[in-house]
């Protein structure tokens, strides 16, 4: 358990790339179409402890993805602050997210609402179909959510 925190939130830079990739790999996060410039990070005394990404699709559709917080730092508000940072800095709306049903209340507190897959923009609908077809998602209840 980590006691005293000195968390700084910022846009990622090239020096963060390997740390982000490794954190996502360790926690099973989405590493597809990896572009470090699309990430925001949380650092404790310059050590990367969390990240989140604004993934942009060809049609301009924006997805909040790759939210990950080091296990030693979880349940300390870092994930919440990362989502807040992304929502303030990324002004494009709507923003979509794919998540597990059991995490819907976490995202609802930011204003996200569940969207039926049939109502998603075509580009994001393809992403939804890709995710739910992956082996790890077979036993999950994946939902789409949106904030306007």
Output the CA–CA distances (angstroms, integers) from residue 123 to 24, 45, 60, 105, 111, in the order listed: 24, 39, 9, 25, 22
Output the CA–CA distances (angstroms, integers) from residue 41 to 22, 53, 54, 55, in the order listed: 13, 9, 12, 14
pTM equals 0.89
Please tell me the distance from the alpha carbon of residue 105 to that of residue 84, in angstroms, as a whole number.
15
For 86-138, what is each residue's pLDDT tens digit?
Answer: 999 988 888 999 999 999 999 999 999 999 999 998 888 988 998 888 887 77
> What is the model's pLDDT at position 7?
95
148's tokens: 């306007």
Please tell me the distance from the alpha carbon of residue 80 to that of residue 44, in angstroms, as a whole number.
16
**Secondary structure of 95-108 as H, E, C letters:** EEEEEEHHHHHHHH
Domain with residues 7-147, CATH architecture: 3-Layer(aba) Sandwich (3.40)
For the chain, what percent of residues have pLDDT higher than 90?
A: 70
Confirm if 39 and 16 have CB atoms less than 8 A apart.
yes
Q: Is residue 54's pLDDT more than 80? A: yes
Helix, strand, or coil (residue 79) = helix
Please tell me the distance from the alpha carbon of residue 33 to that of residue 8, in angstroms, as a whole number.
26
The DSSP bridge pattern shows strands 142-147 and 7-11 to be unpaired
> What is the model's pLDDT at position 31?
77
* Mean per-residue pLDDT over the chain, rounded: 91
């Amino acid at each position: 358990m980590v006691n005293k925190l000195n968390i700084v939130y910022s846009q990622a830079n090239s020096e963060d790339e390997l740390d982000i990739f490794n954190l996502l790999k360790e926690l099973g996060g989405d590493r597809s179409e990896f572009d470090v410039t699309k990430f925001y990070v949380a650092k404790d005394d310059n050590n990367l402890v969390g990240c989140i990404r604004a993934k942009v699709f060809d049609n301009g559709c924006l997805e909040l993805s790759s939210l990950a917080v080091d296990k030693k730092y979880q349940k300390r508000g870092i994930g919440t602050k990362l989502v807040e940072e992304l929502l303030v800095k990324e002004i494009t709306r709507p923003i979509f997210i794919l998540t597990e049903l059991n995490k819907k209340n976490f995202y609802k507190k930011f204003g996200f609402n569940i969207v039926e897959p049939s109502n998603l923009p075509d580009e994001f609908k393809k992403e939804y179909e890709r995710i739910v077809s992956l082996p790890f998602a077979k036993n999950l209840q994946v939902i789409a959510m949106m904030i306007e």
